[in-house]
Structure 1
Amino acid sequence: MKFLLYYIIAINLYGIFVMYSDKKKSQKGRWRTPESTIFTIAIAFGALGIFMGMRLFRHKTKHKKFVIGIPLILIVELFIFFTYIYKLL
């Protein structure tokens, strides 16, 4: 159980970092993080971090696939996580 919590914390912190990094790269006109990479992190239970990064850095907030897709992934992940926790109790 501890490993799962550590993993979720780490992947979400990484998601926030990726969004921050991509925002800075976009401001400097440099090579960007592919959208597929961002969605892969989100699907790997990092959707909360990606979502927080979107809000904190106002990044990807005009792209419908992010505005709709990331919250949907987050809802599914929260459902899976709490279903898993409930079964352990």
Structure 2
Amino acid sequence: MQTVVLIWIGLMSLWSFATMGYDKQQAKKKGRRVPERKLWTLALLGGGIGAYFGMQTFRHKTRHTSFRIGFLVLALAYGVLILYLLGLRMPGSLIL
């Protein structure tokens, strides 16, 4: 089950990263954009890490405080989940 969750987070992160890149490209050429709701949905459903790194890599949505903070929080949460699933515990951490 842990492997399935890790694969899911990886795939959703790749999808989120690619979607951020695509939306930035569309913004530059004034094409059809990806709705912000879809970007948030992808991030919430496991793609928080990819969404955050996509935002940073493509310099996309960085002026929106909700994206900057929200995607960072999701990326950190999924990072902690990954560490937990891999069995890596920090000394003195709250994760049991």
The reply to whether TM is greater than 0.5 is: yes
Instruction: Report the TM-score, using the length of structure 1 for normalisation.
Output: 0.84
Match of 1:63 in 2: 64
Unpaired segments of 5 or more residues in structure 1? Answer: none
Within 2, Cα distance between the matches of 1:54 and 1:63?
A: 11
1:14 aligns with 2:15: yes
Which structure's CA Rg is the greater one? 2
Match of 1:26 in 2: 27
Instruction: Report the TM-score, using the length of structure 2 for normalisation.
Output: 0.79
Unpaired segments of 5 or more residues in structure 2? Answer: 88-96
Instruction: State the Cα deviation string for residues 38-81 of structure 1 (Å, max 9, x = none).
Output: 11111111010001101111111111111111111222333344
Cα-Cα RMSD = 1.8
Q: How much identity, in percent, do the aligned residues show?
A: 29
1:39 aligns with 2:6: no
Match of 1:75 in 2: 76
Q: What letter matches 1:38 in structure 2?
A: L
As a proportion of its length, which structure holds more helix? 1
Kept in 1, the 8 Å contact 2:49–2:76? The answer is no
Within 1, Cα distance between the matches of 2:3 and 2:76?
A: 22
